[in-house]
Chain A
Amino acid sequence: MPLAPVDETVSIGDLVRDPYPIYRRMRAETPVVRVPSVKRTFLTKAAHTKMVKDDVVRFSSNDPTTPMEPAFRAHTLMRKDGEEHRRERMAMQKAFTPKVIKTNWAQLYRDITDRYLDRLPRGETVDLYSEICAPVSARILTHILGLEGASDEEMMRWSQQLIDGAGNFGWDPKLFEITDKANDEMDVHIAACAERLRAEPNDSALSLMVNAADPIPWSQIVANIKIAIGGGINEPRDAMATIVYGLLTNPDQLEEVRRQEAWGAAFEEGIRWVAPIQASSRLVMEDTEIGGIDIPKGDIVMSIQASANRDEELFEEGEDYHVFRDKNPHQAFGTGPHHCAGAHIARRTVGEIMMPELFERFPNMSLPDPEAIVWHGFGFRGPLSMPVTLN
């Protein structure tokens, strides 16, 4: 079988600005394609992205060439396979269940959302992205993880710095100096919180891990709390901003979402349409074949869920935001063993609390200039601001 065709035309800059026309072309012409500028083989069809993430024997998460390890100063659960991965993952998974949210936290999350909404001035144009989407996501995550005492600013900065470090494929030492400093700060704060939670346990992720009968090593507790910091703020933030955009630019859909209280469907469609995490890498463990293309052992394939989520084979008019789809089998939370640990939380906090509270508070909110919104990102993607007029 042939090797993957090579696409020399695509630059990282193009992908960061607007990858969607590129992915559409790839799905039609070269669904499995080597992209030298990213040093990865792109998989753009839903069947292939899913197959790769479901098959951990042929496609490992343990890719030693990523900058994630220096950025987190650890080998985190995202880069492990098999039993070791499951053990670390289950150590915190119970803090992320629908039941814990419903019984212990939902009211607190509503109160937090209300408090931040209270601060917004009516009749003015405000940036929801920086005033609501980001800080509310950060505040809620602080409680889920058991990191009380960290400010919104710290949580958002740590999250961003970890993500920038993990994406530092140019191996710029300056970025690792920044993550080193952030890691020092987080290490101190996480240790202090652990001390408190040993004395006063609660249902947070850190408390569950430190008070477990058979705890995982402290180094891994810290590493995996950091994964949740890196994974739990920017994605809900970007998801929420994207959904606000989708609904405000489709007023007929907004009307119907309100009538049916279909906030969950609006959420699912938002993350399908612009997946907050657009791509994930896997290391090829043996010579294999994908879609009639030979893939050699040692290659790194990129599962482009952003593209899978618009695959013509699964979605009609996939380039557009349509809440009321018959089926929505998107892969925005991934699939396989590394399926997002926070999926239930994101669905409940953004979909069931933050979105309805926002639109209830400001029913006539409007987006003065949709064209002015800048969308950004290749690995992670979302709008850079969301200025709306409130009334």
Chain B
Amino acid sequence: MVKVTYVAADGTRTDVDAEPGSNVMQTALDNDVDGIVGECGGAMMCATCHCYVDEDWTGATGARNDGEDDMLDCAADEVKPSSRLSCQIKLTEALDGLVVHLPEEQA
């Protein structure tokens, strides 16, 4: 199991146990975490799964995937250097304890 913490725009924290191999978007949906819509199911076509990776974790999550920059431009909320599409962050044991912050707006 990989622990992931979602911090909502209002500061509410939700901890969930994720399946390694899943991704940050799908894990949020599977655990009823609000604030991630993930409407295209991870096809990188909707930008409704935007998140900000906590500064302690940007190294571990690595660089954005091919094409992710372009789709992030379609996000509703401000894009920062720590912005990622959460469907593109695959969960591995190395990300156990990951913290992501959610934007106010997704759609």
Contacts and interface: CB of A to CB of B under 8 A. Distances in A.
Interface of A: 50, 53-54, 86, 89-90, 93-94, 96-99, 264, 327, 333, 335-339, 343-344, 347
A54 B107 contact: no
A50 B39 CA distance: 10
Nearest to B67: A86
Given A344-B76, A344-B107, A347-B107, A339 B39 contact: yes
Contacts of B107: 264, 343-344, 347
Contacts of B45: 89, 336-339
B73 A339 contact: no
Contacts of A54: 41-43
Contacts of A337: 40, 43, 45
B93 interface: no
A335 B76 CA distance: 18
Contacts of B71: 90, 93
Contact of B74 (A93, A264, A327, A338): A93
A335 B67 contact: no
Interface of B: 32, 39-43, 45-47, 67, 70-71, 73-76, 105, 107
A96 B47 CA distance: 12
A89 B47 CA distance: 14
B43 A98 contact: no
A97 B73 contact: yes
Contact of A333 (B39, B47, B70, B73): B39
A96 B71 CA distance: 11
A61 to B, nearest CB: 12
Which of B70, B73, B74 has the most CB atoms of chain A within a 10 A radius of its CB? B74
A339 B74 contact: no
Given A89-B45, A90-B70, A93-B70, A343 B76 contact: no
Contacts of A338: 45
A339 B74 CA distance: 13
Contacts of B73: 94, 97, 99
A93 B70 CA distance: 9
